[in-house]
Chain A
Amino acid sequence: MSSILVSSQSYAGGPEIARRIAEKLGYRFWSERQLIDEVAKSRAIVPTDLRKALEHPPSLFGLSDVVRRTLVAHLQAVLAAHLLDDSLVFHVPYAHGLIPGVSHILRVRLVAGWASRVAMAEKIEEIPLKKAEKRVAHDDAARNSVSELLFGFTDDDERYDMVVDLDGRQEDAVIEEVVGAMQSHAYDAMTYSMQRLRDVELGFRVRSAVIDLEPSARVEADHGMVEIRCWAGPSRKAKLEAEVAKRVGGLSGVQGVEVRVFDDSLRRGWA
């Protein structure tokens, strides 16, 4: 039941390497596109919006923070559900933040040198050097700011379990390195990590179910017991509490719900 989330810098050749890692381990592979399509279908949202939520940096005329967080909450719920079912390799951005603290999920970051990425951008996009440099720089900055917004930290190497530099290395050697890590037993599924994943999945599923009621909702799940913290004005407090409890109480795997609604006059929910 171990899985791998692979993130890569743009134009580093990450998707193909991730696919080959899956092939080598006999795990099912999901590309970012497949995941986005699945989330869009299951939550009736537009795939382009979800792609924007992951790729476009915050801007005045772009997606609002609330919409972005909502879309990503749905993505986390779908991703966690799949991770409970099978051994998988996902190529997704922000592997360091999407699924926190599950020891049998290896979070890998693939990086490549600036020159090779720019060359790849030139080739793929058929654009001149200057434009390619600008594109790569823009992608890095966007990734960092989206990561900061969603998770509170940048797309930082230290947050990943494993960082592999692709520069000057054969693809086969890189694949062997990741496969070797998975064969070390450190990433084997165990009672603790499976329970942790069940808690994470339930937490994301609950958040996905209530986020339209209150985007500030924060959810913790522990062995079926769910705690939800929201922020709302005094006039809305009682109604929100009842609505959230009613909606969550009907979800599978939920054994108990505690909803705590705090005064939102200072908008602490987003702090």
Chain B
Amino acid sequence: MQSALRILVVDDEVIACKRLKLSLSSNEYTVECVPGGAEAVQRLESESFDIVVTDICMDQVDGIAVLDAVSRLHPQSKTIVITGYASVEVAREALAKGAFDFIAKPFQPKDLRVIIDKAAKEIRRVRPKDRADGSSGN
């Protein structure tokens, strides 16, 4: 059996973070939450995550900056962007910067789960034997 993939959830709404953690945590995924973009970039500088789920609108360091950090530090990671202020321009910017997917709030947890499962499938397809020893890939 493959080891759990690591997910970093970035959202400055603490309740949203908790809800996402609750709905995504499983045998397949271990979920860590941070309450803002600055904290996310700090975590990404010291560790890698398989999947990063980030809100766009956050004070100081926004989701696009988090996406930039993921692309720069861990290009193999998949970033899923969530936002309550979706627009054509932002969606295109996120995808051009390498986002795996983009979803507008409000959404059902199962909708995000479908996207995460899709990202996980792609990660496992590309590196099927990765994490077999349970390492975090740092």
Contacts and interface: CB of A to CB of B under 8 A. Distances in A.
Interface residues of B, number: 15
Contact of A103 (B92, B98, B101): B92
B59 interface: no
A188 interface: yes
A192 interface: yes
A88 B96 CA distance: 21
Contacts of B86: 192
Contacts of A187: 92, 95
Interface string B98-111: 11011110000001
B57 to A, nearest CB: 15
Interface centre among A101, A188, A190, A193 (most CB of B within 10 A): A190
Interface string B102-134: 111000000100010000000000000000000
Q: Which of B86, B88, B101 has the most CB of A within 10 A?
A: B88
A99 to B, nearest CB: 11
A191 B110 CA distance: 13
Interface string A164-193: 000000000000000000001111101111
A77 interface: no
Contacts of B93: 186
Interface in A83-125: 101-103
B91 interface: yes
A177 B95 CA distance: 19
B103 A185 contact: no
Contacts of B104: 192, 195
Given A192-B103, A192-B104, A102 B88 contact: yes
B91 A193 contact: yes
A190 to B, nearest CB: 4
A188 B115 CA distance: 15
B95 A188 contact: yes
A97 to B, nearest CB: 14
A191 B115 contact: yes
A98 to B, nearest CB: 15
A221 to B, nearest CB: 14
Of B86, B91, B104, most A-chain CB atoms within 10 Å: B91
A187 B95 CA distance: 8
A185 B98 CA distance: 8
Contacts of A184: 96
Given A191-B111, A192-B86, A186 B92 contact: yes
A187 B88 CA distance: 10
B122 to A, nearest CB: 14
Nearest to A195: B104
Contacts of A193: 91, 102
Which of B92, B99, B104 has the most A CB atoms < 10 Å from its CB? B92
A101 B101 CA distance: 17
A59 to B, nearest CB: 35
Contacts of A195: 104
B115 to A, nearest CB: 6
Interface in B65-114: 86, 88, 91-93, 95-96, 98-99, 101-104, 111
B96 A192 contact: no
Contacts of B115: 191
B102 A191 contact: yes
Interface of A: 101-103, 184-188, 190-193, 195
6 contacts: A186-B96, A190-B101, A191-B101, A191-B111, A192-B102, A193-B102
Interface of B: 86, 88, 91-93, 95-96, 98-99, 101-104, 111, 115
Given A185-B96, A190-B99, 16 more contacts: A101-B88, A102-B88, A103-B92, A103-B95, A186-B92, A186-B93, A190-B91, A190-B101, A191-B101, A191-B102, A191-B115, A192-B91, A192-B103, A192-B104, A193-B91, A195-B104
